[in-house]
């Protein structure tokens, strides 16, 4: 895990660990995050130093930061999936050193898969305080980026 990805994971885990107020925007503010101007598609953004995130409200509020991204430049997306599965496994091992064992790890469709991560192929979750922190392997559709994201709810 890169130092940058580690910093993002730690910062979002700190938000998840905070007790009440349980609402995500209140926990972000309490942890020192700053609300920024709206980004593309009207999504709200928050910043913490150099870290910038995207906030999704709704049934389960979630904040997400992409820590690794590759645009497919080949017709062999299976190769990229395998590469990202390896990156996900490495990043997960580093994350478990920081946060301990996961409360959930699985593939889309598995029992217990986080509803708010419907676009993820694979996800890992830690329940912390008022929220949770997660690591996700994302690939929404053919021809779109493969990415690893860190989230807090």
- The more confident residue out of 119 and 28 is 28
* CA atoms within 13 A of residue 57's CA, in its CB half-sphere: 9
Q: How confident is the model at residue 61 (pLDDT cuts 50, 70, 90)?
A: confident
SS (H, E, C) the chain: CCHHHHHHHHHHHHHHHCCCCCCHHHHHHHCCCEEECCCHHHCEEEEECCEEEEEECCCCCEEEEEEEEECCCCCCHHHHHHHHHHHHHHHHHHHHHHHCCCCEEEECCCCCCCHHHCCEEEEEEEEECCEEEEEEEECCCCCCCEEEEEEEC
Please state the rounded mean pLDDT for residues 70-99.
84
Residue 74 has pLDDT above 70, yes or no: no
Please state the rounded mean pLDDT for residues 86-93.
92
pLDDT of residue 127: 93
Tell me if the bond preceding 85 is cis, omega within 30° of 0.
no
Tokens found for residue 12: 């979002």
Please state the rounded mean pLDDT for residues 130-153.
83
Residue 122 has pLDDT above 80, yes or no: yes
pLDDT digits (tens, 9 = 90+) for 105-120: 999 999 998 888 878 8
Provide the whole-model pTM.
0.85
């Amino acid at each position: 895990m890169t130092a940058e990805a580690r910093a993002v994971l730690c910062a979002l885990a700190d938000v998840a660990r905070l007790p009440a107020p349980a609402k995500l925007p209140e926990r972000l503010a309490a942890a020192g995050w700053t609300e920024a101007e709206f980004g593309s598609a009207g999504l709200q953004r928050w910043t913490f130093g150099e870290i910038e995130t995207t906030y999704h409200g709704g049934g389960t509020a979630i904040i997400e930061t992409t820590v690794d991204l590759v645009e497919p430049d080949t017709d062999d997306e299976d190769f990229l999936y395998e590469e990202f599965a390896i990156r996900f496994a490495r990043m997960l091992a580093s994350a478990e050193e920081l946060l301990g064992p996961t409360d959930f790890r699985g593939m889309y469709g598995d029992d217990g898969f986080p509803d708010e991560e419907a676009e993820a192929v694979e996800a890992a979750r830690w329940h912390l305080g008022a929220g949770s922190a997660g690591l996700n392997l994302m690939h929404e559709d053919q021809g779109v980026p493969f990415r690893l994201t860190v989230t807090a709810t």
